[in-house]
Amino acid sequence: VTAGGGSSATADVAYGIDIGGTKVLGVALGSAGQVLVEARVSTPTGPAHGDAVGREVARAVVDVVAQLDAAPEVAAAQPGSPGLAGAPPIGIGVPGMVDREGGLRFSPNLPQAHGVDWHVLLSEQMPRRRFLIENDANLAALAEHRLGAGRGFDHVLMVTLGTGIGGALIVDGRLRVGGHGYAGEIGHMVVDPAGPPCPCGRRGCWERYASGGGLGLLAREAAMAGRLPAVVALTGGDPESVRGEDVTAAALAGDGDARRVVEQVGWWVGFGLANLACVLDPQRIVLGGGLLAAGELWLDAARAAYAELVEGGPTREPVDIVPAAMGERAGAVGAAVAARQGGLW
Amino acid sequence: VTAGGGSSATADVAYGIDIGGTKVLGVALGSAGQVLVEARVSTPTGPAHGDAVGREVARAVVDVVAQLDAAPEVAAAQPGSPGLAGAPPIGIGVPGMVDREGGLRFSPNLPQAHGVDWHVLLSEQMPRRRFLIENDANLAALAEHRLGAGRGFDHVLMVTLGTGIGGALIVDGRLRVGGHGYAGEIGHMVVDPAGPPCPCGRRGCWERYASGGGLGLLAREAAMAGRLPAVVALTGGDPESVRGEDVTAAALAGDGDARRVVEQVGWWVGFGLANLACVLDPQRIVLGGGLLAAGELWLDAARAAYAELVEGGPTREPVDIVPAAMGERAGAVGAAVAARQGGLW
């Protein structure tokens, strides 16, 4: 999207960076689509807002880029010292509503960054690099459709379950971004108007239940209702301080109470997927994001809820609900793919 | 989809028939897209199931076709007596999940017809006519996108609010039917898993709230809670016998209680549209179906709920929510368009 030097050398390596609610994850992608090297830093958090925090996040991006630039794997894949003019193009995935010019309109899970112009901020710090800014889930879908679990399907629903929920739609063989670039913002379908408040300003959004954040919320609800005694005891006795990670760890260790809470999240995942299948009729559903790390605990519950809730049930063709082949790297890999080809298509 | 005689004469007139939950509506469409004549009969209802009721509905279709065949407007538009070989092709819209071969997989609002093979039944009764079977909302979208309120927009969400809710998606300039033909079955997004039972077998589907059927349900709920005293008195004193039409009539006559119930339906319409906008990011939303007859009572409430609930609110481009230009005829007109061109595209 942004200009910059460029030569055929840039086709060898491309960088992809996924700015998440908890971490900034970068990859350098080789010309055959292989990940050469990975780098990550924590996403800066704090009370700062707008450009101030935008600058902090931009510095985290600079940090990740510097790590990739310094990696011997990158140098080895770029024959002949390319210098800045031949520096790898950088694709950047951000959560939230990204318009067709790469501007971030609204980002509930990166609220500090509302109104931030990533192009300007990043160009300030890396004036001679080329950037492409896109919605993180769109990039994950691009990667999985091109190289991963969605390969060979013309209708794929990509869902990233992280701090919040991202989504992207492959329809008739191509990524579709909607009339203004915002399609796939599926985490903010309201599933209960009286539900818990969401950072987006409304209540009861799907991502309040079916994401990493949702797991924490359901866990604290269960803890306060006395349904997680062992977990509460382990975390110091205060039900309000129980986090999603605590419940996942306890469930993996065999705690039946914890397992039921994680399965409840799985039910909510399946619930939303069934609704989306009514709208979109995908051939395959690919799930990515951090919540997949504990997928063994809830994927079956999600599949069961989907089968129970989707319109037509057994009269319609079954749809596989599968984890992203690239796991949590899907967004970063897709960012690199988009950077190399100069856009989503 | 089905074979049959054919000649260039058939291009002059095409028939479109929309099988709804309450009526079978047919139009004869002239070569310039104008409605030459309309015919309608009530949809047969009763205890019969499967092929038996399928035959009754097929006879209603035959009845509508006979009315169109006999219309002087059709004869005038078909110069030179065409005979059967040149008889107008017939497009037929049915509610529910229609697969890519025109088979009806699942149809909550025409439950008697589950498993019915419309091609076989209609061919039995009109052996030498050509038929095309499609989902009713897809056909309405085709008509409105080509000739009506969605003209000129590449991203249109079509929603038909009748006995139930139908939906269809124009994405990047083309009707999209999904991986198996079922896309746009938006009425069966579950909005409250503990809500009222739906004919589809689940609970709390959107169409339990935001359709003609939903209006009746919300009206009886209000009546039983004592919130519709005047309407209940007018309809004989039994709150359980209040119908949606009673409330609409009272609201149009100025009854404030009735008005609030109709506006509640409008709120639910806007609620679902906001969810769908998060998923699809349309540029325009076109509403059709019988509920639009009372649109003046609830459209503003729907628009207000949409604006309040859609992610990003004022930070995103506004989207007009407009009535179908062809009103309740949209499905039938689209059926005729599809019949003439031999398919949806």
A307 at interface of B, judged by CB pairs closer than 8 A: no
Structure token digits, residue A91: 């694709």
Q: Within 13 Å and on the Cβ side, how many CA atoms surround A2?
A: 24
Residue of chain A whose Cα is closest to the Cα of B202:
A309
Name the residue among B112, B78, B88, B103 with its Cα closest to residue B6. Answer: B88
Ordered alpha helix ranges (H), A187-255: 212-224, 229-234, 244-252
**How many contacts (CB atoms, under 8 Å) link A and B?**
148
* Mean pLDDT of the A24-45 span: 93
Residue of chain A whose Cα is closest to the Cα of B156:
A179
B97 at interface of A, judged by CB pairs closer than 8 A: yes
Q: Which of A167, A274, A281 sits opposite B183 (nearest CB)?
A: A281
Chain B CB contacts of A172 below 8 Å: 174, 176
Given pLDDT bands bounded at 50, 70 and 90, which one contains residue B82? low
Which burial class, exposed, middle or buried, applies to A245 when counting CB atoms under 10 A from its CB (0-12, 13-18, 19+)?
middle
Chain B CB contacts of A108 below 8 Å: 311
CA separation for the pair B329, B117 (Å, rounded): 24
Dump pLDDT digits (tens) for B180-226.
999 999 999 999 888 999 988 899 999 999 999 999 999 999 999 99
**C-alpha separations of A337 from A132, A161, A168, A173, A321 in Å:** 11, 21, 16, 17, 24
Q: What is the CA radius of gyration of chain B?
A: 20
* Mean pLDDT of the A224-230 span: 95
Q: Which of A174, A192, A281 sits opposite B179 (nearest CB)?
A: A281
Task: Return the percentage of chain A with pLDDT > 70, whole number.
Answer: 92
In b/e form, how buried is each residue of B120-132, taking b as 16+ CB within 10 angstroms? ebbbeebeebbbb
Whether A335 contacts A17, CB under 8 Å:
yes
The mean pLDDT value of chain B amounts to 90
Contacting B residues, span 140-199, partner chain A, CB-CB under 8 Å: 153-155, 167, 169, 171-172, 174, 176-193
Residue A5 has what pLDDT? 39
Dump pLDDT digits (tens) for A255-293.
999 999 999 999 999 999 999 999 999 999 999 998 999
Q: Is the pLDDT of residue A13 over 90?
A: yes
Q: Do B108 and A172 touch (CB under 8 A)?
A: no
Q: A323 phi and psi, to 5 degrees?
A: -70, 150
Given pLDDT bands bounded at 50, 70 and 90, which one contains residue B51? low
Given pLDDT bands bounded at 50, 70 and 90, which one contains residue A244? very high
- Cα distance from B275 to chain A (closest Cα, Å)? 4
Task: Identify the three-state secondary structure at position B284.
Answer: strand
Residue A38 has what pLDDT? 97
ipTM surpasses cut 0.85: yes
* Mean pLDDT of the B256-260 span: 97
CA separation for the pair B42, A294 (Å, rounded): 54
Query: Which has more pLDDT, B255 or B1?
Result: B255
Chain A CB contacts of B190 below 8 Å: 271, 274-275, 309
Residue A123 has what pLDDT? 87
Q: Is the pLDDT of residue B4 over 90?
A: no
Residues 6+ apart with CB under 8 A from A341: none
Question: What type of residue is A149?
Answer: A
Given pLDDT bands bounded at 50, 70 and 90, which one contains residue B240? very high
Q: Do B316 and A276 touch (CB under 8 A)?
A: no
Q: Which of B171, B184, B316 sits opposite A97 (nearest CB)?
A: B316
β partners of residue B340: none
Task: Check the CA dihedral B69-B72-B78-B84 and report its sign.
Answer: positive
Task: Identify the three-state secondary structure at position B131.
Answer: strand
Angle at A333 between CA A327 and CA A335, to 5 degrees: 130
Task: Identify the three-state secondary structure at position A107.
Answer: coil
Task: Return the percentage of chain B with pLDDT > 90, whole number.
Answer: 72
CA separation for the pair B177, B91 (Å, rounded): 17
Range scoring the smallest mean pLDDT among A43-52, A190-199, A310-319: A43-52
β partners of residue B39: B26
Chain A CB contacts of B271 below 8 Å: 190, 193
What's the pTM?
0.91
Q: Do A282 and B185 touch (CB under 8 A)?
A: no
Residue A53 has what pLDDT? 72
Q: Within 13 Å and on the Cβ side, how many CA atoms surround B24?
A: 24
Name the residue among A184, A175, A98, A96 with its Cα closest to residue A337. Answer: A175
Name the residue among B170, B167, B193 with its Cα closest to residue B182. Answer: B167
Instruction: Name the residue with tokens 């003609």.
Output: B212
